[in-house]
Amino acid sequence: MERRLYQRIPVQVSAIVTTEDGVRIKVIAVDVSSDGLGVECNIKQRNMITPGGSFVRDGKPVSVFVDLNLSDGNGQLFKIVARCHVVFSRRMSSDQCKIGLRYADIENNNHKWLIRFIEKRLVSD
C-alpha cells in the first residue's frame, strides 16, 4: 500500500550527487516524490556515494547533495538542489544500482514548486 502523500513520479533526467567529501558523480534520477527521489548508477558510482553499499556512517545516514533540472512541461527547466539522506541502496543488476534519497533540505523553498510539478504530472498521467 502506498503510504506517501504523493506517489513517485517516473523521470529520466541527469543529476549530480555531491558526496560529503565533495566528489561530484553524474547519475540518472529515475523518480521523484514529495519526500525524496531515486537515482540509478553503476557499482563504482554507488561505492563512491555509499562505500560498499553502506548508507550509514558513524551511526548517521550518509548525507549528499543532489542537483537536478526538471521540466515544467512548457519547456522551462527548474533547478532543484537538495541535501538528502541515503535511505537505501539496492543492486538492480550485475552493474546497476538504485539509491533512495530522502530530502533533508531543499534550497530556496523549491519544495512548493516540486509539489506543483508532482501534482501536474499526476493529473496528466
Q: Are 69 and 81 in contact (CB under 8 A)?
A: no
Integer Cα distance of 42 and 21 in angstroms: 19
pLDDT tens for 65-85 read 999 999 877 777 889 999 999
- As beta bridge partners, residue 44 has none
Q: What is the pTM of this model?
A: 0.89
* 48 residue type, one letter: M
From the list 60, 68, 65, the residue with the least C-alpha distance to 19 is: 65
Integer Cα distance of 112 and 33 in angstroms: 12
pLDDT tens for 1-28 read 455 555 899 999 999 999 988 999 999 9
Integer Cα distance of 69 and 88 in angstroms: 23
pLDDT tens for 96-117 read 999 999 999 998 878 888 988 8
Write down all domains in the chain, each with its CATH number in brackets.
9-124 (2.40.10.220)
Q: What is the pLDDT of residue 1?
A: 45
